A and B are shown apart, each in its own frame.
Chain A
Amino acid sequence: MVIAVAAMSIAITATYVITGNLHDTMGERFIVEDVWFTTGKISIYIRNVGKVSIKIATVYIDHTPQSLKPLKLEENKNGWLNVTYSWSHNSVYHINIVTVRGTKVVDYYESPS
């Protein structure tokens, strides 16, 4: 009896933990509304269009991770993500935005002339 309860408790807990992570990862959706190149900085405006809160963990510019202040967005919320970066005029940048759970939005953005 004790062994059965222990075994099934472990099974239920494992199922709950595994599906809980899966649930949150499946519910993540976000979009980039705008990218603004200003002096020494690239500002990215992000909107959470998913069903769970998101936390932006890293931004890769041309495959190089950039340091940034993490941005947490609840459902249907939006905000600026500021990345310090010395960009050049008339250049195309590959920007990859990644959440803590691993969801990413990748695109090319051209800097102004």
Chain B
Amino acid sequence: MNLRLKQDRSGVSNIIVVVLSLVIVVAIIANIVLWGYGMNQLDWEKMKEEIIITNVERDTEINGTRFIFKNEGALTSHLVSLWIINSTNHQRYDISVFVNSAETTTYLRADIFLPDDQYTVKVVTERGNIAVWSR
């Protein structure tokens, strides 16, 4: 009688172990599926983003440079890097500019001077898109 009770309890314990373990495995797999969904969302947002540089010119008032950015995408863009590139130098500047969807933003920098020769301006968004402007 005692032996039979012990065997029954052991069977129940096995089922509890298996069920709990399966719950943990399902939770781990669900986590990876949700992570994948989040990364797809990130890629989708990157595809929807469209930033353009409409003009870059010297600003005599601040004795610096005026940049005009236009957001032609469906989402707000966060600009994080600005590059001024010519044949002798590739200069990068940290920036933090938000441009709402369908809006144009003017960005002034007194510490940036445009080269006299041919140059390229690049702006990089937080999502990883790049807009280029050349003169």
Taking beta carbons and an 8 Å cutoff, which residues of A are in contact with B?
1, 4-5, 8-9, 11-12, 15-16, 19, 22-23, 26-27, 29-31, 33-34, 36, 43, 45, 47, 49, 51, 76, 78, 112
Contacts and interface: CB of A to CB of B under 8 A. Distances in A.
Interface string B13-43: 1100110110011001101100110110010
B39 A51 contact: yes
Contacts of B87: 112
Given A23-B31, A31-B130, A76-B126, 7 more contacts: A4-B18, A19-B29, A19-B32, A26-B35, A27-B35, A31-B128, A33-B122
Contacts of A16: 28
22 contacts: A1-B17, A4-B17, A4-B18, A8-B20, A8-B21, A11-B25, A22-B32, A27-B39, A29-B42, A30-B128, A31-B128, A31-B130, A33-B122, A34-B90, A34-B92, A34-B122, A43-B90, A45-B92, A47-B124, A49-B126, A51-B39, A112-B87
Nearest to B94: A78
Contacts of A11: 21, 25
B17 A8 contact: yes
A1 B8 CA distance: 12
A29 B44 CA distance: 13
A78 B29 CA distance: 31
A15 B127 contact: no
Given A1-B14, A1-B17, A15-B28, A34 B35 contact: no
B67 interface: no
A33 B80 CA distance: 11
B76 interface: no
Contacts of B14: 1, 4
A56 B97 CA distance: 28
A38 B100 CA distance: 37
